[in-house]
Amino acid sequence: MPIYEYEPVNQEQGCPRCRHGFELIHPAGEPPCAACPDCGRPVRKIISRVGVVIKQADGESGRVIDKIRTYENDGMWSHAAELADSHAAKSKDSGLKERAMDNYKKAGMDPS
């Protein structure tokens, strides 16, 4: 269920709970809360600040990962494995190392 934030319509008249804002959890389809659960004074729903983090690969890593994906899509497992393995060693990316091991296996090679 979503968390909604509320603040009093009149900051000076709020109780200790609503004066500084409060959160309520309720189903998305329900109408917004109109009054503070403690003091009954009018409140309004506020728009919350949201922090978003998008992880993007740097230019070189992005190009290498695209090339690995192309090799995989073309069934060139040994090429994909070698490229992933060498780039994983440089970047210390354990996920890419696992991908290389999987590609070695698909190529019929012993990854060890």
Q: Is the pTM of this model over 0.75?
A: no
pLDDT value for 54: 59
Burial class (CB in 10 A: 0-12, 13-18, 19+), 45: middle
Mean pLDDT per segment of 10 residues, for the chain of length 112 residues? 86 85 86 92 84 64 90 92 92 89 90 72
pLDDT value for 61: 83
Rg of the chain on CA atoms, in Å: 27
pLDDT value for 68: 93
Q: How far apart are CA 60 and CA 104, in angstroms?
A: 23
Sheet-wide strand order for 22-25 = 22-25, 3-8, 43-46
